[in-house]
Structure 1
Amino acid sequence: MQEIEKLKVLQSDRESLKSRTKQKELERKAENATETACPECGSRQLVHDHERAELVCQSCGLVIDNDFIDRGPEWRAFNADQRTNRARTGAPMTLTIHDKGLSTMIDWRNRDFYGRAISSKNRAQFYRLRKWQRRIRVSNAIERNLAFALSEMDRMASALGLPRNIRETAARVYRDAADKNLIRGRSIEGVVAAALYAACRQCSVPRTLDEIAEVSRVSRKEIGRTYRFVSRELGLNLLPTSPIDYLPRFCSGLKLKGEVQSRAVEILRQADERELTNGRAPTGVAAAAIYIATILCGERRTQREVAEVAGVTEVTIRNRYKELAEKLGIELII
């Protein structure tokens, strides 16, 4: 019973920490909202002078605020080890964990704060504390749903090699869908895959539905249907994917130089100006532009090699590159 009471106290401390953190975020947003433009000239070129603790407008020189609080640390660190040792806080908040990383954790090593081994008399007590900590960390059905969904999202993002900002964006999309009760009647894996696909498009790091379906446990058809439903209900308003967004990944997979990528970008921009990319799959158009650029730059790649990297067929590349070459007046010696 004493262990349960201690864990309840820890849980109440966690909730109070969450409320304080949320209040600080609201205060910071309100402070930033009032300091976005100069009241004298309307300029947005505001600079913080940390030596004088003043907020100054670069255009007219008006001192908008003074004696503001320096929110940085009062200590200095000259290397990574010093920064780690002198920091008095844990990891930053993250949306990729169901409790945003604010929960407490009892280490599995039987050592105290000073690194001394815990006596055998107290080890059984710490074992029980760890067990109850794992149980109460996920306290209700909503947190269980988030814990499973975010772990699945992390697995899929790792398999696709996606950066941290896309994982945070996808977690926010999923949390918004959960708050609006859009998950009921749908599989968690389908909503997670749809959120990840939407985050890739928002961050201009596109992945196709086929690539998302390969690492998920649902079909491509279900991911597309769920994505359309979630984007409509949340009002995401995502623009169509540009073929230029696929070029860096495809060129890297083919081990091409930057000159080839730049030439492919020029070809796609000319095609976009003449509306040759409308109604075409962006991956196929990007692959055709890369194929043309490799020929023009003397780094020839076969249609099969480009098709394997882009995930399209050789027939698609053949049809698209002939169309681009004819409409743009590009002469190719094959």
Structure 2
Amino acid sequence: MDQLEIELEKFENISADDLMDMMSGIDFDNGDQYSVDDVESNVCINCNKPNTLFEDYSNGILVCKECGQVNENVIDANPEWRNYDGTSNKARCSSITNPLLPRSSLGTSIRGYTRSKVKNLHEWDAMPYEERSLNIVLKEIRNRCQKNNILKCIEDDAKIMYKWVSECKHKEGKNKGRKYIIRGANRLGLIGACLFFACRKNGQTHSPKEIAKIFDLKFTDATKGLKTFMKLIKLRSDIKIGLGKSSSDDFVPRFCRELSLKKTYINQAIKIARNTDELNIASKHTPISIAAGSIMLMIEMAGLTITKKALSEKFDVSEVTISKAYKSIEQYREILVDDEKTQMILTKIKKDREKNELPEHLKKRYEENLNKNKSTIIDDEESYCTIKSDDSFANSIADPCKLYEDIEYYKNIIDMELYDTIAYTEEEYKVVSTL
């Protein structure tokens, strides 16, 4: 009996109706084939509802989400990574591949608790020298982040950013094609810069002073690391990264959480800081100073018992700086806590700004001095008017300082007009709100 006769015998007991049902379910145009498993595989054996079965791999069952009926057991066909002894020992398989250390991840390890010579030689040979130095830095980032309670996602981004800059190469000169070599405090500053931009990327902005404290660096070394990072990351044309910029409302949530404040107080402080930035009221202050001043204003308005000294010690910002930022925004408290008033003022400022222009004689002097090679060092906000220079350089910056005074005078005139606009808008808002 040939194969065709055997296949035909299977259909002897099928009725005409069953045969028609099977034939009607076949789509001959698309080449689909009828399969009993396709129809019944996702139907519950108890409630007969389709598409209700859920695979619970932790318990090894196929269960219905509607009635809870266990339809069958599920066998996990994935490989067993552990050593079949109920522990987390993965000696049976190699370690997880680390994308930051690709070559080292391909190696094996010799088991044993003693440090034998063969084991040491094997470990030294398994990791190339470039990945060995990179691994030291990655461990340093991990330890610093864990010690200062920094999120794991920020830690991972910092590691990736350092991996990027560590692969930068000279594009010209005698070292063309070779990697940049950075050692000592400069390397630690670069590591801190990676953490700084990783924090900013994830909305947990830290100030350079905080980064310097985390890595036990001088403030100047931390800022130098930021400049080095920006220089190196520009060499990586294959990487597009949005570094963004710091704003005062980035600091407020973290500061308020450290003070254990309620959500309503946090939202109030964020609103004050954000509106202060939009109105550009305290533009001469740093974002962290504006954040501290906004929290201080919120504390005063809410009647909380948190002193300025406590804020200074908590956030490493001097009381003088907090007082200056607070005084800059305190007189506009009624506007800063109201988003509608702020938007009205922004609309007026935008119209007035289109009419104001810098005088031609100041614009000309500014363009002339912009082309000069000036080198000024600004230590921090509290000494930001102190310019360090030697006697030979004093004459070259005399004219820019005079220009600075003239521009400051002109800015003061504009500021007075701005304050009048704010006051006028405040009265206008009261009139409009009564209509």
Q: Residues 104 and 131 of structure 2 are in contact (CA less than 8 Å); yes or no, is this contact kept in structure 1? A: no
By relative contact order (CA 8 Å, sep 6+), the higher-ranking structure is: 1
Q: Residues 200 and 246 of structure 2 are in contact (CA less than 8 Å); yes or no, is this contact kept in structure 1? A: yes
Number of aligned residues: 241
Q: What is the aligned counterpart of 1:294 among 284, 294, 299?
A: 299
- State the distance in 2 between where 1:99 and 1:78 align: 37
TM-superposed CA distance for 1:244, in Å, is: 1.2
- State the distance in 1 between where 2:56 and 2:260 align: 45
Q: Residues 294 and 326 of structure 2 are in contact (CA less than 8 Å); yes or no, is this contact kept in structure 1? A: yes
Q: TM-score, normalised by structure 1?
A: 0.62
- State the distance in 2 between where 1:233 and 1:208 align: 21
Alignment of 1:119-134 (within 5 A): 127=116, 129-134=118-123
- State the distance in 2 between where 1:139 and 1:172 align: 19
Q: What is the aligned counterpart of 2:164 among 176, 194, 201?
A: 176
Match of 1:244 in 2: 249
TM-superposed CA distance for 1:295, in Å, is: 2.1
Q: Cα gap change, 1:217/1:263 in structure 2, threshold over 3 Å: closer, same or farther?
A: closer
Q: Residues 204 and 254 of structure 2 are in contact (CA less than 8 Å); yes or no, is this contact kept in structure 1? A: no
Q: Residues 170 and 195 of structure 1 are in contact (CA less than 8 Å); yes or no, is this contact kept in structure 2? A: yes
Identity %: 22
2:267 is paired with a residue whose SS is helix
- State the distance in 1 between where 2:211 and 2:232 align: 21
TM-superposed CA distance for 1:197, in Å, is: 1.6
Match of 1:265 in 2: 270
1:206 maps to amino acid: T
Q: TM-score, normalised by structure 2?
A: 0.49
Residue 142 of structure 2 corresponds to residue 149 of structure 1 = no
- State the distance in 2 between where 1:275 and 1:228 align: 26
Alignment of 1:64-83 (within 5 A): 76-78=57-59
Match of 2:205 in 1: 206
Match of 2:362 in 1: none
Residue 159 of structure 2 corresponds to residue 166 of structure 1 = no
- State the distance in 1 between where 2:138 and 2:160 align: 10
- State the distance in 2 between where 1:92 and 1:163 align: 22
Q: Residues 231 and 237 of structure 1 are in contact (CA less than 8 Å); yes or no, is this contact kept in structure 2? A: no
TM-superposed CA distance for 1:294, in Å, is: 1.7
Match of 1:65 in 2: none
Q: What is the aligned counterpart of 1:309 among 314, 329, 335?
A: 314
Q: Residues 270 and 328 of structure 1 are in contact (CA less than 8 Å); yes or no, is this contact kept in structure 2? A: no
TM-superposed CA distance for 1:289, in Å, is: 1.0
Q: Cα gap change, 1:203/1:326 in structure 2, threshold over 3 Å: closer, same or farther?
A: same
TM-superposed CA distance for 1:144, in Å, is: 2.2
Match of 2:126 in 1: 137
Deviation string 1:183-212 (CA, Å, 9 cap, x unpaired) is 414433232122112211222211222222
TM-superposed CA distance for 1:286, in Å, is: 0.8
Structure number, greater radius of gyration = 2
Unpaired runs of at least 5, structure 1: 1-50, 53-73, 110-122
Unpaired runs of at least 5, structure 2: 1-37, 40-54, 61-75, 83-89, 170-178, 235-240, 337-435
Q: Residues 249 and 273 of structure 2 are in contact (CA less than 8 Å); yes or no, is this contact kept in structure 1? A: yes
- State the distance in 2 between where 1:297 and 1:100 align: 56
TM-superposed CA distance for 1:269, in Å, is: 2.2
Q: Residues 183 and 191 of structure 1 are in contact (CA less than 8 Å); yes or no, is this contact kept in structure 2? A: no
- State the distance in 2 between where 1:249 and 1:167 align: 17
Q: Cα gap change, 1:98/1:292 in structure 2, threshold over 3 Å: closer, same or farther?
A: farther
Alignment of 1:206-225 (within 5 A): 206-225=205-224
TM-superposed CA distance for 1:313, in Å, is: 1.0
- State the distance in 2 between where 1:248 and 1:92 align: 36
Alignment of 1:67-106 (within 5 A): 76-78=57-59, 88=81, 93-94=97-98, 103-106=107-110
TM-superposed CA distance for 1:299, in Å, is: 2.0
- State the distance in 2 between where 1:298 and 1:102 align: 61
TM-superposed CA distance for 1:224, in Å, is: 1.2
- State the distance in 2 between where 1:88 and 1:131 align: 25
TM-superposed CA distance for 1:103, in Å, is: 4.5
- State the distance in 2 between where 1:196 and 1:219 align: 16
TM-superposed CA distance for 1:262, in Å, is: 0.9
Q: Residues 212 and 218 of structure 2 are in contact (CA less than 8 Å); yes or no, is this contact kept in structure 1? A: yes
Q: Residues 95 and 172 of structure 1 are in contact (CA less than 8 Å); yes or no, is this contact kept in structure 2? A: no
TM-superposed CA distance for 1:274, in Å, is: 0.9
Q: Cα gap change, 1:323/1:95 in structure 2, threshold over 3 Å: closer, same or farther?
A: farther
TM-superposed CA distance for 1:177, in Å, is: 1.0
1:225 is paired with a residue whose SS is helix
Q: Residues 253 and 270 of structure 2 are in contact (CA less than 8 Å); yes or no, is this contact kept in structure 1? A: no
Deviation string 1:65-92 (CA, Å, 9 cap, x unpaired) is xxxxxxxxx981159xxx9x98638776
TM-superposed CA distance for 1:309, in Å, is: 1.6
- State the distance in 2 between where 1:225 and 1:98 align: 30
2:161 is paired with a residue whose SS is helix
Q: What is the alpha-carbon root mean square deviation over aligned residues? A: 3.4
1:300 is paired with a residue whose SS is coil
Q: Cα gap change, 1:92/1:263 in structure 2, threshold over 3 Å: closer, same or farther?
A: farther
Q: Cα gap change, 1:204/1:100 in structure 2, threshold over 3 Å: closer, same or farther?
A: farther
